[in-house]
Amino acid sequence: MADEQGFDVIIMDDGHQNFSLAKDLSLVVIGSGFGNNRMLPAGPLRESVAQGLKRADAIVVTGEGPLPVNASLPLIESHLVPVGEVSWSGKRVIAFAGIANPERFFCLLADLGANTVEVRAFADHHPYSSAEITQLKSRALAENALLLTTEKDFVRLSPKQREGIELLRVRAEFTQAELIEGLLNQLMRR
């Protein structure tokens, strides 16, 4: 389909372990670690960390804290920043998230000055029921607070469920943007 449409580049998320795809550049994103460091079904990993990193070109580190792996690959630090102006400073907020690391979202809200009254963490890719959304909206109304979630969660809600819910759009900001540019320039020269 990319060829038919005239595209030269395909950017994928979560394709590192798909061996049927030929890749020109592989970035492994590491957040707070690798869970219990075990492979499926005992843990979240699809292969050993060492094996996966052998095929990687660089590591993108998100968040704070020590790197959970020793690697000789280029390390590119990143953190999430809001897209556009946000105005939640001092506002009462009830936040919910069904992402891999909801704590990072909640911490970002605190960094933005929100007065977080309550947080609700759900499993990654959680399918929200109408009852759950109704309960969250009731809590926000009772606490006179904004109901706030991530963009990833917001798009999984129905149009009816979205009513009265705010979202925080974020983007990754790279500390060493020149490393990413260098990798992309090498790729383009090929």
Q: Cα–Cα distance between 124 and 102 in angstroms, integer?
A: 9
pLDDT of residue 68: 65
pLDDT digit string (tens) for 108-123? 999 999 999 999 999 9
Q: What phi, psi does 110 have (nearest 5°)?
A: -65, -40
What pTM, to 2 d.p., does this model score? 0.79
Residue 106's pLDDT band, with cuts at 50, 70 and 90, is very high
The fold for domain 85-168 equals Rossmann fold (3.40.50)
- The least confident of 32-46, 78-92, 154-168 is 32-46
Longest dimension (CA), the chain: 59
What is the domain partition of the chain in residue ranges? 2-79+173-189, 85-168
Helix and strand totals (H; E) in the chain: 7, 8
Structure-token pair, residue 174: 């790279």
